[in-house]
C-alpha cells in the first residue's frame, strides 16, 4: 500500500491512498483523516486502507483523482519523533579520513544516531529556505522507516516487526555549523534544519524481495542541478539494519507509534557509485588532492532524490527541491 | 489560566481547565479536546478557555469536579518538539570543575541545548521505569515553556512573545550513559529517557511579577525520598532567558506550535540552596573531598518537585514519581 498526505490548509493535511504507479489517488475519508491517525490505530485502520488500495490499483475506485506530488506535504507533516542514524559506516570513515581522524572501534558495534526536530517537515517539492549560503548547505539522501509502538528494551529482531512504513528522506544539513555543535557534544539543533520527505510512504510489502534483513536493497539516485551525482546501493553496506537502529533508541525508553527512524546518508565504498551528499564528495577530493573543490549548494540550486523498485517503477515518488533565500 | 490533561485511555488524553488553587477542574469539551488542539489554534480557542477558567475560579462552573493529579497525563502527553537548554551556567561550571575540565568561553554566549525525545512523556505521578540502576538514575528539576509558531531567524525578544504556557519538568537522566554519548558528539538518545511533567500547564499571567525578563523568579523545591534536597532560585542565575533559548533553536528553522523548550537543571552558586539533580551534589562532593559520596537513585526511591507562587500556592501542582524496575 502507498499513502500520501495532501495539503488542505491544516497542519496535518489529508491522508490519501496512492496507486502503485503513482498515477491515481483516493481520499481515505471515512477511514482515517491523517497519517498519524492511521499509525495510532494501525491494526484497525490499515486493513480498510489496504482494501481501498486494492480497489484503486484495480482501476475500480469510483472517486479516484490524478495524483500530483506538488500537492503533497511530507507523509507525516509533523511527527512525535525523528531519529536519524549514520548507519553507512563508509560515510563516517570517509568524512573522518578527510580530516585525518580515526573511526573509534566502538562505532562498529554502537550506531551513531541523533535526535532530530520533528515539528516542521518539508513536503517533497517545498523550497528549502535558508538565511545564508555561508552555512554550507548540503542535501543527504536517505531512507527511513516509520514505526508502531516499540517496547523498552526490545531486541533488534522484534524491533523490525514494528516497521509500518518506509519513506524517502532529504536530511538537509548545514555543514559549516556542524563542527561547533559536534564539539559541544549535545547534538544538532542549528546544523540540522527542517527535513524533507518523499511524496509517498509505502508498506514494506511494496518492496517485495528488496526489503530484506531490515535493509532496502535498491538504488538511490541523487540529481544535483539535473546532473546525476549518485546512484548508491542502499542495501549491502548498511552496517546497522533498521531493527538495530530502533533497538538502540529503545534501550532506555519506549518508542511510540509514528516514530521515524532514518538510515543516514547512503554511502558505498566503491566511489563509482557517486555520492548522496556533497560532504562526501568533498571528503574524497580532500583525500585525493588535499583540499575540496566542490562547493556546497547555492540559492537556486535543485536536488532530486528518487528510488526505483526492481520493476523500474518509482517507489516513493521523487523529492524535488530548490534552495531558496529567506525572505527579509 | 491553568490547564491539565486527564487520562481517558487515548494517546492525547482529555483537556481540562483547572482552578487556580488546583482544587477543581472542568472539562473543555466543546471548546478543545486536547492540549495540542488549543496550541494549534490558540487565538481562537484560548479566549473561550479563559472564560471557562474565570467561571471556574469564581466557583460558578456547573460541572466542576475535584481535580486529582493522579489522573493526569503530562499536559502534552506527546509533543512535536522537546528541546532542553542548560541555561544555568553554574551547573555546567560545577560539573566540569568536578572532572577538572574548563568551561569553553563560547558557552557564555552560545547556549548549550539538546533535542529530546517527545513521543512518550510521563505524567506527574507515573512511575519512572528503568532496566538497571547501574545506569546512574538521576532526576533534574526544571521549568519549561510551550511555544506557539515561531518564525525562522526570530530575535530573543520576539521569541518571548511566542510563549503560551509554562510547565514543571523532571528531565530524567542516566548519568553513567552520558559520557559515551557526549564523546560521540551526536547528543543524547539513551542517556535521556522519557521526561516527566507537572500536572498543570499555566499561562504566563498566572505568575504575575514572578515572570520577568523571560525568567521564572520563584523557588523550585526538590524532595528526594521525602527529604528536601533543593530550594533553588530559578530566576536570577538563569544565564540565558527563554527567549534566547527559543531564538537559538530558531536560527535555521521555524518552531511550530506546541514546541517545549526547557531551562535545564536549576542551579545556584550559593550551595546553601541545595541541588536540583544528584549529579551536582556529587560534583560538589568531588570538589570538596576528591570523590562523590552520594549514590544515584535506587528502585523504590521517590522524587517530589514543586514550585510555589508568591502567594504560597502550588503553581503547577507537584511531580511525585517513584523509580521502578522494568518488568521482565
User: Under a CB-based contact definition with an 8 Å cutoff, are residues B246 and B154 in contact?
Assistant: yes
Mean pLDDT within A35-59: 98
Predicted complex ipTM exceeds 0.95: yes
Mean pLDDT within B81-85: 98
Chains A, B: CB contacts under 8 A, how many? 143
For residue B7, give every residue at least 6 positions away whose Cβ sits within 8 Å of its Cβ, in sequence order, or none: B13, B14, B71, B72, B73, B123
User: Under a CB-based contact definition with an 8 Å cutoff, are residues B289 and B283 in contact?
Assistant: no
Question: What pLDDT, in 10s, does the model give residues A188-232?
Answer: 999 999 999 999 999 999 999 999 999 999 999 999 999 999 999
Mutate to test the interface with B, among A108, A186, A265 (most CBs of B within 10 A): A186
For residue B325, give every residue at least 6 positions away whose Cβ sits within 8 Å of its Cβ, in sequence order, or none: B129, B130, B131, B299
User: Under a CB-based contact definition with an 8 Å cutoff, are residues B314 and B229 in contact?
Assistant: no
Contact B115 A254 (CB under 8 A): no
pLDDT for res A328:
81
Q: Which of B135, B49, B22, B36 is nearest to B77 (CA)?
A: B36
> Is the pLDDT assigned to residue A280 strictly greater than 90?
yes
Chain B residues touching residue A78 (CB < 8 angstroms): 80, 256
Between positions 295 and 324 of A, the ones with CB within 8 A of B are none
For residue B45, give every residue at least 6 positions away whose Cβ sits within 8 Å of its Cβ, in sequence order, or none: B31, B32, B37, B38
> Is the pLDDT assigned to residue B228 strictly greater than 90?
yes
Q: Which of A191, A13, A4, A78 is nearest to B255 (CA)?
A: A78
The C-alpha torsion from B278 through B281 and B283 to B287, rounded to 10°, is -170
Question: What pLDDT, in 10s, does the model give residues A245-265?
Answer: 999 999 999 999 999 999 999
Radius of gyration of chain A, Cα coordinates, nearest whole angstrom: 19
First to last CA, chain B: 42
Predicted model pTM = 0.98
- Residue A36 has a CB neighbour count (10 Å cut-off) of 21
Between positions 29 and 88 of B, the ones with CB within 8 A of A are 40, 78-81, 83, 86
For residue B26, give every residue at least 6 positions away whose Cβ sits within 8 Å of its Cβ, in sequence order, or none: B16, B17, B52, B55, B56, B61, B63, B64, B65
Chain A residues touching residue B253 (CB < 8 angstroms): 117, 120, 193-194
pLDDT for res B102:
87
Question: What pLDDT, in 10s, does the model give residues B143-179?
Answer: 999 999 999 999 999 999 999 999 999 999 999 999 9
pLDDT for res A15:
98
Is the torsion defined by CA of A123, A127, A132, A133 positive or negative? positive
Amino acid at each position: 500500500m502507498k499513502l500520501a498526505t495532501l495539503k488542505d490548509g491544516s497542519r496535518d493535511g489529508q491522508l490519501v491512498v496512492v496507486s502503485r504507479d503513482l498515477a491515481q489517488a483516493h481520499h481515505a475519508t471515512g477511514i482515517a483523516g491523517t497519517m498519524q491517525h492511521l499509525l495510532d490505530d494501525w491494526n484497525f485502520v490499515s486493513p480498510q486502507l489496504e482494501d481501498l488500495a486494492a480497489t484503486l490499483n484495480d482501476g475500480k475506485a469510483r472517486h479516484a483523482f490524478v495524483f500530483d506530488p506538488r500537492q503533497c506535504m511530507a507523509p507525516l507533516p509533523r511527527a512525535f519523533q525523528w531519529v536519524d542514524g549514520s548507519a553507512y559506516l563508509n560515510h563516517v570513515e570517509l568524512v573522518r579520513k578527510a580530516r585525518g581522524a580515526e573511526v573509534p572501534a566502538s562505532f562498529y558495534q554502537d550506531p551513531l544516531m541523533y535526535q532530530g526536530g520533528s515539528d516542521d517537515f518539508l513536503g517533497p517539492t517545498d523550497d528549502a529556505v535558508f538565511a545564508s549560503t555561508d552555512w554550507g548547505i548540503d542535501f543527504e539522501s536517505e531512507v527511513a522507516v516509520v514505526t508502531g509502538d516499540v517496547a523498552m528494551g526490545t531486541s533488534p529482531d522484534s524491533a523490525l516487526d514494528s516497521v509500518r512504513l518506509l519513506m524517502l528522506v532529504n536530511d538537509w544539513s548545514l555543514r559549516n555549523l556542524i563542527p561547533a555543535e559536534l564539539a559541544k557534544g549535545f547534538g544538532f539543533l542549528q546544523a540540522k534544519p527542517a527535513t524533507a520527505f518523499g511524496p509517498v510512504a509505502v508498506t514494506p510489502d511494496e518492496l517485495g524481495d528488496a526489503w530484506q534483513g531490515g535493509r532496502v536493497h535498491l538504488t538511490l539516485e541523487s540529481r544535483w542541478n539535473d546532473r546525476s551525482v549518485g546512484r548508491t546501493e542502499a542495501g549491502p553496506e548498511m552496517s546497522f539494519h533498521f531493527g538495530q537502529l530502533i533497538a538502540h533508541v529503545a534501550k532506555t525508553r519506549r518508542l511510540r507509534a509514528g516514530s521515524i527512524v532514518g538510515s543516514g546518508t547512503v554511502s558505498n565504498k566503491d566511489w563509482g557509485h557517486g555520492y548522496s551528499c556533497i560532504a562526501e564528495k568533498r571528503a574524497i577530493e580532500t583525500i585525493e588532492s588535499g583540499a575540496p573543490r566542490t562547493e556546497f549548494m547555492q540559492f537556486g540550486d535543485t536536488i532530486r532524490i528518487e528510488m526505483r523498485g526492481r520493476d523500474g517503477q518509482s517507489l516513493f515518488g521523487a523529492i524535488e527541491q530548490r534552495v531558496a533565500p529567506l525572505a527579509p
